[in-house]
């Protein structure tokens, strides 16, 4: 069993770093020391907040490193000075120990959290790049398909064209100099399946000319419609179509 001053063990107790007789002895001390009770409560709350900041499993040697840091904090001997000086020194020693432990735990959490964040960000960027590459290849594949057929219509000073590849069962909508939608609105594309409209994606409201790979298969749709919808799109059209195009066959 260690002979460490129990006042210096509040942080270790809060993060469950004490074991066996050492923990039992500290818990007996805790019943009669209000100052240590307060420090344990503060450490427990801090450890809880740090746990929410990172989900990285700590290294097995973390406990030993933290306890080693605590042992390097110089403690004031209870017989080396008058009682009031001892109390001040003990409070100072506990403060140093508290901040040493908090710094160790915070540094570990911050380092682990940063590493995870950097990995997830890089992984996300790779996934986005791969998705963008597949999207571009699918769009170009429809436009360059040997069986690609198109149909166009004028739209308020601009033009709209739908290109369909029956072999790929996909369609691309090409806008040329289309007027911008009203503020807070967006153009939404639809496939007409009999008497129903099936959402086929949104256009970029900041671009007057663009090519959009329509979402989903053509799957026997008879036409394509464009409506003005609230930002984010709608489940079903909420406005009169600004353009309607038959699917080329």
Query: Which residues lie closer than 8 Å to 39 by C-beta, 6 or more apart?
Result: 10, 11, 94, 98
Tell me how far apart the alpha carbons of residues 244 and 241 are, in angstroms, rounded to a whole number. Answer: 7
Cβ-based burial of 173 (10 A; exposed 0-12, middle 13-18, buried ≥19): buried
Condensed to tens digits (0 to 9), the pLDDT of residues 42-52 reads 666 555 545 44
Rounded to 5 degrees, what angle do the CA atoms 236, 152, 137 make? Answer: 75
Q: Which residues neighbour 169 within 8 Å (Cβ) at sequence distance 6 or greater?
A: 217, 218, 219
pLDDT tens-digit series, residues 150-179? 998 888 778 889 999 999 999 999 888 889
Domain ranges of the chain: 6-117, 149-246
Q: Is the pLDDT of residue 97 over 90?
A: no
Q: 206-223: per-residue pLDDT in tens? A: 988 888 999 999 988 999
For residue 140, the number of C-alpha atoms closer than 13 Å in the C-beta half-sphere is 6
Contact predicate 66/59, CB 8 Å: no
More confident residue, 22 or 218: 218
**∠ CA(42), CA(46), CA(48), 5° rounding?**
120
> Three-state DSSP class for 160?
strand
Question: Per residue in 57-87, pLDDT tens?
Answer: 556 666 666 666 666 655 555 444 454 554 5
Rank 14-18, 121-125, 157-161, 178-182 by mean pLDDT and report only the highest: 178-182
**Closest C-alpha to 203, from 238, 234, 162, 175:** 175
Which residues make beta-bridge pairs with 191?
198, 224
């Amino acid at each position: 069993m260690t002979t460490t001053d129990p006042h210096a063990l509040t942080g270790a107790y809060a993060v469950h770093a004490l074991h066996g007789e050492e923990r039992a002895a500290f818990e007996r001390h805790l019943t009669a020391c209000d100052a240590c009770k307060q420090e344990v409560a503060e450490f427990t709350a801090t450890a809880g907040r740090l746990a929410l900041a990172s989900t990285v499993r700590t290294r097995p040697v973390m406990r030993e490193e933290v306890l080693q840091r605590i042992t390097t904090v110089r403690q004031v001997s209870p017989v080396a000075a008058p009682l009031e000086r001892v109390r001040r020194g003990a409070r100072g020693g506990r403060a140093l120990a508290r901040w040493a432990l908090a710094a160790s735990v915070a540094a570990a959490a911050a380092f682990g959290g940063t590493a995870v964040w950097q990995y997830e960000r890089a992984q996300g960027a790779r996934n986005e790049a791969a998705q963008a590459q597949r999207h571009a290849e699918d769009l170009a594949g429809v436009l360059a398909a040997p069986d690609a057929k198109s149909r166009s219509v004028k739209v308020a000073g601009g033009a709209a064209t739908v290109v369909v590849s029956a072999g790929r069962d996909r369609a691309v909508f090409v806008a040329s100099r289309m007027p911008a939608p009203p503020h807070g609105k967006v153009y939404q594309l639809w496939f007409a399946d009999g008497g129903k409209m099936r959402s086929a994606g949104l256009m970029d409201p900041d671009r007057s000319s663009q090519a959009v790979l329509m979402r989903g298969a053509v799957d026997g749709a008879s036409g394509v419609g464009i409506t003005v919808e609230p930002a984010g799109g709608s489940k079903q059209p909420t406005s009169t179509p600004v353009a309607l195009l038959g699917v080329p066959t």
